[in-house]
Homo-oligomer: A and B are copies of this chain.
Amino acid sequence: MIHITRRERFCAAHMLRNENWDDQKNLEVFGKCSNPNWHGHNFELFVTVKGEVNPLTGFVINLKELSRLIEKKVIQKLDHKNINLDVDFMAGKMASTEVLAIAIWKQLEAGIQEMGGILHCVKLQETENNFVEYYG
C-alpha cells in the first residue's frame, strides 16, 4: 500500500453564522468571520488516495483522472463561488472548514473507488495558519 496526494486550489467567499442566533451571539462565537457582507479565502485542497501500485503503470491511480474527478465534483462547484449560497452540496450546512472537508469527502469517495483507489484523507487549508484533515 502507498498513499498518493493531489493538491488543487479554489478561491471562494463564505461567512460563519448560525441562523438561530442573533448578531451579537454570532459575533461572540465567530468573531470577524460572521461579517454579513462575506469574506473569502484561497483554499488549498489535498486529496490522498491509497492503494497497491499497478505494475503495468507504476501508479496507484492515474493522477490525471483523479485531478479530473476533483475538478468536476469539487473545484467547479467551489471556485470563485460563495460557499453559503452557490454550492449544492453545502446547502443548509455551516460553511466551516471542518464541515466543508467532510462534504468534499462525500463528493469524492465513490468516484475514487470506481477508479480502483481508496480515499484516505481530505485536507483543506484555509489560511497559512489553519487546516483540517478528515479521514472518513
Partner of A12, one of B39, B64, B80, B133: B39
Answer whether residue A85 sits at the interface, using C-beta atoms and an 8 A cutoff: yes
User: Cβ of A39: which chain B residues have Cβ within 8 Å of it?
Assistant: 11-13, 40, 79-82
- Copies of this chain present in the complex amount to 6
Closest residue to A16 on the B side, CB-wise?
B58
In the complex, the answer to whether B38 meets A4 with C-beta atoms within 8 Å is: no
Closest residue to A20 on the B side, CB-wise?
B56
Interface mask (A57-73 → B, CB under 8 Å = 1, otherwise 0): 11110111000000000
Give the complex CA separation of A93 and B56 in angstroms: 10
In the complex, the answer to whether B96 meets A133 with C-beta atoms within 8 Å is: no
In the complex, the answer to whether A3 meets B133 with C-beta atoms within 8 Å is: yes
Answer whether residue A24 sits at the interface, using C-beta atoms and an 8 A cutoff: no
User: Cβ of A131: which chain B residues have Cβ within 8 Å of it?
Assistant: 4-5
Closest residue to A97 on the B side, CB-wise?
B4
Residues of A within 8 A of B (CB): 1-9, 11-14, 16, 18, 29-33, 35, 37-42, 48, 53, 55-60, 62-64, 79-82, 85-86, 93-99, 101-102, 127-135
